[in-house]
Structure 1
Amino acid sequence: MSSGGCCGNGDQVLSPLQSMSLPREKILYVLCLQPENNEHNKPGYLATVDADPESKDYGKVIHRLYSSDPRDELHHFGWNSCVSCRHPSITRRFLIIPGLQSGNIHIVDVATANAPRLHKVIDGAQIAQRFDIQYPHTVHCLPSGEIMISYMGDQQGKGKGAFLLLDGETFEPKGLWNKNSQDIMGYDFWYQPRHNIMVSSEFGYPQSFMKGFNMEDATTNQILGHSLHFWDWNKHTIIKSMRLGDANGPTAIPLEVRFLHNPDASEGFVGVALESVVYRFFRQDGEWTCEPVIKIPPKFVDNWALPFMPGLISDILISLDDRFLYFANWLHGDVRQYDISDTKHPKFVSSVFLGGLICKDTGVKVTKDQELDTQPERLVVKGHPIWSGPNMLQLSRDGKRLYVTCSLLTPWDKQFYPELVKKGSGIIMLNCSPQGMTVDPEFYVDLSSEPDGAIRGHEVRYPGGDCSSDIWV
């Protein structure tokens, strides 16, 4: 049985519940974006953060590994192997880090966990020319030992949902997983072979969202994401697509897809950004479908771009025991916790406001609010104001610590949170329990004073696996 992490290489692996008893994470890996004055001449980097409370460097960046190209826009990343992998010679050793804009794929060796090194770079231009795909996003390992990466666009920046396979040993591109050309957009995905299913979501046309948010593209042009796609895992073809949200309203933009961790469960959740709704997807009478289970009402506001402000759900996570769902409202500024013991009826547990657009000091006036009586104060941790709402989340395996970063995407950061771009961000930790969440006052990773200036952090991972990269099959 595996002892160092929740991953195996053909041996028996720990169950999700058993994985909750593994040792505490002592290192965080976080993708970092350069400040505006460097973004065209210096690449971003993978920061290694000391998360051991017994260490003298607790909460500090202890290593930086730069990517290959200033155009990379490091965004999401994953592992070469996780609990699903049964290949006898492949172990969890490499981080797979795509550059969202360049298309380059960085293979990073973390055999020395506190000092990752670059193993290989796969040229994004060659991938684009060979397969007519660009803008890579989600990385998951497969039971076969291969690695699959979702793509969001073609070489012209139009929407194109596709899935590239990498060889698990050489990391060379092997071909597309999806059969034939599918007229869909892409973003995230999660698979569950036990139920012969994969579910994928859509962000939109990169030529739109890589310039920032344009409401006209969500309404008149309809080139932002709106559908959830259900795939036959064995045949690699779509069996059903469901349009989410109001068919007569703006596109919904479904983003992060999360199955329950119990592989017997044929259900999960997807966070829908612009509609600000969490949908439950499930199989019923042999057919896959979905229903809204959590709705975040908009705030009606003055002195903002629109007369109403959506929550804009960015990231969602499920604890390894399948008991709690967490998600971030990037514009409103809060992280929420729900008890999903009854998946059909999630129960609100708690929320923590960080630094969204409805803070009292933003100049935005909330005129009507179905949830709050007063606008929240901006969070300050260890003397550092939080200049953005929460975006990416990562939960510790034991479910007790939730790490939060703030950057969404460079053009969106500039559009909605210019102070974030100017002053940088950090990593916040929320202490979690069945009774709710609280800000940990002793933990804050300051990225505003990095050697390259005011840095913004995005996705977080740990050695040994986590609840958004491991898929139990």
Structure 2
Amino acid sequence: MEVPDIWSKPRRRLIGPFCVQMVEPIDLYWKCGLANPHTSHCLGSGQIMISCMGEPAGGGKGGFVLLDGETFEVVGNWEHPGEAAPFGYDFWYQPRHNVMISTEWGAPKALIHGFNPAHVKEGHYGSSLHVWDWTTHRKLQTLDLGEDGAIPLEIRFLHDPNATEGFVGCALRGCVFRFYRTLKGDWAAEKVISVPSKKVEGWMLPEMPGLITDILISLDDRFLYFSNWLHGDIRQYDITDRRNPRLVGQVFLGGSIISDGPVKVLEDPEKHGQTHPRIIKGKRVSGGPQMLQLSLDGRRLYVTTSLFSGWDKQFYPDMMREGSVMMQIDVDSDQGGLSVNENFLVDFGKEPDGPALAHELRYPGGDCTSDIWI
């Protein structure tokens, strides 16, 4: 009797007028020894590359899966055996310079149910960037960013394919590091932005970091944007001087320090203090600004509020009950400046099977975080 091979090919599911390809977790386990896929990028070869955050048992393992770009079958690992990073998360490559750099979050078994500060001291969260040879797939360097670089999440090279530098947002201490190739040909990193923590009461710790969870760079490489998921603000920096970013725009959208919430700000180095709840089209925004996406002309910045369900439940239980939202920020792409579009809101709490937690945003045809120029 012939046993059908139900795992050999990705399944296809019809959703409305669309056909969705599904890669089963067991394929990642068996063929690559990886789990918890995160970032995907298309390669010039026609393949699709996906970073993974761990191994099937829940420990940290920063490896990369290759998919066939037409069939979506799992081809295998991109990295060589034994060269996976301790943790995985995001990555960005620059083929013109034969380099890829990847980041770290933490061990899935530690972060899945929420954030425990003790896990940082126990070594379950990362603080390094990993530099890879794009041609040979060998790991060349590990850049330890130290305490200020704990939990480096989203990484962005400049869009200019000739540039050998970019930025990475480090969540735990609210810092942005610039990474760059040195005159010797290796890679280094330096801190260029620091969002000070606020002294608070009524929260899990005596100090609350901004928690930078997403960053992006405008297509002309002039502005850097990032979200502080806990403080509740989005910031716009002029990065014309790459080593000295200049704050030119800021807007608050919810967060954990709203005036009628349980957390009281005792000391704020930036003098913002408590912020007001954000209400758009009659809907109070639960949660804080998280994933970002910028239109190609740089004038419309979209933001959603859900980070990760385990962390959403811990920090923003109201969002679990009411669903997340998507908002639009109008951008002054000439002088700098941000303002909320009060006439735009997508309420995922009203989804038919909701409330839903919306996370990533993408533009059809490409956007400021999916296009890599070669």
Q: Deviations over 1:174-214 (max 9, x none)?
A: 11110122242100000001111100000110000111101
Partner Cα separation in structure 1 for residue 351 and residue 23 of structure 2: 28
- Say if 2:202 and 2:263, in contact at 8 Å, map to a contact too: yes
Aligned match of 2:340: 439
Aligned match of 2:168: 270
Q: What's the CA shift for 1:109?
A: 9.3
Aligned match of 1:305: 204
Pair 1:409 & 2:308 matched = yes
For residues 124 and 138 of structure 1, do their structure 2 counterparts lie closer, same or farther at Cα, with a shift above 3 Å needed? same
Aligned match of 2:261: 362
Q: Deviations over 1:352-374 (max 9, x none)?
A: 11100011111211111011243
Specify the SS of the correspondent of 1:217: helix
For residues 300 and 107 of structure 1, do their structure 2 counterparts lie closer, same or farther at Cα, with a shift above 3 Å needed? farther
Partner Cα separation in structure 1 for residue 307 and residue 72 of structure 2: 28
Which AA in structure 1 matches 2:166?
A: G
Pick from 107, 112, 115: which aligns with 1:213? 115
Partner Cα separation in structure 1 for residue 34 and residue 58 of structure 2: 9
Specify the SS of the correspondent of 1:126: helix
Aligned match of 1:389: 288
Paired residues for 1:74-93 under 5 Å: none
- Say if 1:105 and 1:124, in contact at 8 Å, map to a contact too: no
Q: What's the CA shift for 1:118?
A: 2.4
Aligned match of 1:60: none
Q: What's the CA shift for 1:317?
A: 0.6
Paired residues for 1:194-273 under 5 Å: 194-219=96-121, 221-246=122-147, 252-273=150-171
- Say if 2:27 and 2:74, in contact at 8 Å, map to a contact too: no
Deviates more, 1:444-453 or 1:228-237: 444-453
Partner Cα separation in structure 2 for residue 401 and residue 109 of structure 1: 31
Aligned match of 2:40: 139
Pick from 190, 213, 216: which aligns with 1:314? 213
Q: How many residues align?
A: 362
Q: What's the CA shift for 1:106?
A: 7.7
Q: What's the CA shift for 1:120?
A: 2.8
- Say if 2:10 and 2:73, in contact at 8 Å, map to a contact too: no
Partner Cα separation in structure 2 for residue 469 and residue 437 of structure 1: 23
Aligned match of 2:278: 379
Pair 1:296 & 2:184 matched = no
Could you list the structure 1 runs, at least 4 aligned residues long, displaced by more than 6 angstroms after superposition: 104-110
Pair 1:287 & 2:186 matched = yes
Which AA in structure 2 matches 1:188?
A: D
Partner Cα separation in structure 2 for residue 150 and residue 373 of structure 1: 37
Unaligned segments of structure 1, at least 5 residues: 1-103
Specify the SS of the correspondent of 2:210: coil
Specify the SS of the correspondent of 1:355: coil
Pick from 59, 75, 79: which aligns with 1:174? 75
Which AA in structure 1 matches 2:103?
A: S
Which AA in structure 2 matches 1:278?
A: V
Partner Cα separation in structure 1 for residue 12 and residue 110 of structure 2: 29
Specify the SS of the correspondent of 1:135: strand
Partner Cα separation in structure 1 for residue 41 and residue 26 of structure 2: 22
**Greater RCO, 1 or 2 (C-alpha within 8 Å, sep 6+):** 1
Partner Cα separation in structure 2 for residue 199 and residue 106 of structure 1: 31
For residues 227 and 398 of structure 1, do their structure 2 counterparts lie closer, same or farther at Cα, with a shift above 3 Å needed? same
Say what the alpha-carbon RMSD is for the aligned residues.
Answer: 1.7
Could you tell me the TM-score, scaled by structure 2's length? 0.93
Q: Deviations over 1:35-59 (max 9, x none)?
A: xxxxxxxxxxxxxxxxxxxxxxxxx
- Say if 1:108 and 1:116, in contact at 8 Å, map to a contact too: no
Q: What's the CA shift for 1:446?
A: 1.5
Specify the SS of the correspondent of 1:362: coil
Which AA in structure 2 matches 1:317?
A: L
Q: What's the CA shift for 1:129?
A: 2.1
Aligned match of 1:27: none
Could you tell me the TM-score, scaled by structure 1's length? 0.74
Partner Cα separation in structure 2 for residue 171 and residue 138 of structure 1: 15
Partner Cα separation in structure 2 for residue 441 and residue 108 of structure 1: 37
Partner Cα separation in structure 2 for residue 374 and residue 157 of structure 1: 39
Specify the SS of the correspondent of 2:109: helix
Pair 1:455 & 2:356 matched = yes
Partner Cα separation in structure 2 for residue 469 and residue 368 of structure 1: 39
- Say if 1:301 and 1:367, in contact at 8 Å, map to a contact too: yes
Q: What's the CA shift for 1:116?
A: 5.2
Pick from 325, 334, 339: which aligns with 1:426? 325
- Say if 2:182 and 2:188, in contact at 8 Å, map to a contact too: yes
For residues 179 and 328 of structure 1, do their structure 2 counterparts lie closer, same or farther at Cα, with a shift above 3 Å needed? same
- Say if 1:106 and 1:118, in contact at 8 Å, map to a contact too: no
